[in-house]
Amino acid sequence: MCLAGVSMSLGKVVRSSLWLYVGGVASNLLYFIYWLIASRMVSPSTVGTAAAVIGVASILAGVFSFGISQGTTRLLGQTHGRGDSRAFNLYFTSSFIMNICVYSILAITILIPGGLFGLSRYQLFFVAALVLSGAGLMNSLGPLFNSTLRTEVVAFSSVLSATFRLIFLVALLSPGLDFFGVIVTYIIGNISADAIYLYKCRELIRFEKPSLKSAKEILAASIPSWIPSLFATAGTWLGIIGVYGIAGSTQTGTYYMAFAMASLVYAIPTSLLSLMFPVLSGMDDGRKRATNRSVRLTFVILAPLAAAVIAYPTVPLGFLGTSYVSSSLTLQILLLGTIISPISLGFNSLIYAYGKYRYVTLLGLASNVPRVALYLLLVSMWGANGAAIAYVSGYLFEFAATAFLSKRVKYSIDLLPLLAMSSIPFTLAILFYSINVFWVAGVVVILAVSFLSYARLGLVKRSDLAEIASAFFSEKRLDELRPYADYIMRLLYGA
The residue from 177, 210, 243 where one domain ends is 210
Claim to verify: residue 236 and residue 185 sit in the same structural domain: no
197-245 pLDDT per residue, tens = 777 777 777 777 777 888 887 787 777 767 777 777 666 656 665 665 6
Is 216 within a domain?
no
Whether 42 has a pLDDT exceeding 60, the answer reads yes
- Tell me which amino acid residue 349 is: S
Tell me the pLDDT of the chain averaged across its residues: 76
Whether 464 has a pLDDT exceeding 60, the answer reads yes
Picking from 52, 43, 41, the residue whose alpha carbon sits closest to that of residue 172 is 41
Residue that wins the pLDDT comparison between 360 and 27: 360
Residue that wins the pLDDT comparison between 134 and 426: 426
Is 482 within a domain?
no
365-388 pLDDT per residue, tens = 888 888 888 887 888 888 889 989
Whether 481 has a pLDDT exceeding 90, the answer reads no
Is 217 within a domain?
no
Using a CB cutoff of 8 Å and minimum separation of 24, what contacts does 464-470 make? 464/10, 464/293, 464/297, 465/489, 467/9, 467/10, 467/11, 468/10, 468/11, 468/14, 468/15, 468/297, 469/11, 470/11
Is 457 within a domain?
no
| Confidence (pTM) | 0.68
Claim to verify: residue 205 and residue 311 sit in the same structural domain: no
Is 284 within a domain?
yes
Residue that wins the pLDDT comparison between 82 and 445: 445
Claim to verify: residue 205 and residue 233 sit in the same structural domain: no
Claim to verify: residue 293 and residue 334 sit in the same structural domain: yes
User: Which of 111-125, 135-149, 404-418 is the most confident on average?
Assistant: 404-418
Cα-to-chain-centroid distance, residue 138: 15
The residue from 405, 427, 449 where one domain ends is 427
Claim to verify: residue 79 and residue 173 sit in the same structural domain: yes
What percentage of residues in the chain have a pLDDT greater than 90? 13
Claim to verify: residue 126 and residue 271 sit in the same structural domain: no
Claim to verify: residue 56 and residue 139 sit in the same structural domain: yes
For the segment 436-455, the average pLDDT, to the nearest whole number, is: 91
Is 176 within a domain?
yes
Claim to verify: residue 150 and residue 197 sit in the same structural domain: yes
Print the domain residue range for 254: 223-427
The whole-number pLDDT of residue 46 equals: 66
Claim to verify: residue 273 and residue 378 sit in the same structural domain: yes
Claim to verify: residue 386 and residue 407 sit in the same structural domain: yes
- Tell me which amino acid residue 375 is: Y
DSSP string, 283-304: -SS-HHHHHHHHHHHHHHHHHH
- Tell me which amino acid residue 142 is: G
The residue from 401, 427, 453 where one domain ends is 427
- Tell me which amino acid residue 330 is: T
In angstroms, rounded to a whole number, what is the distance separating the alpha carbons of residues 452 and 492? 5
The whole-number pLDDT of residue 138 equals: 72
By three-state DSSP, how is residue 202 classified? Answer: coil
Claim to verify: residue 346 and residue 249 sit in the same structural domain: yes
For the segment 260-283, the average pLDDT, to the nearest whole number, is: 65
Claim to verify: residue 167 and residue 301 sit in the same structural domain: no
Whether 98 has a pLDDT exceeding 90, the answer reads no
Is 87 within a domain?
yes
Q: How many domains does the chain have?
A: 2
Whether 47 has a pLDDT exceeding 90, the answer reads no
By three-state DSSP, how is residue 116 classified? Answer: strand
Is 455 within a domain?
no
Rg of the chain, C-alpha, whole Å = 23
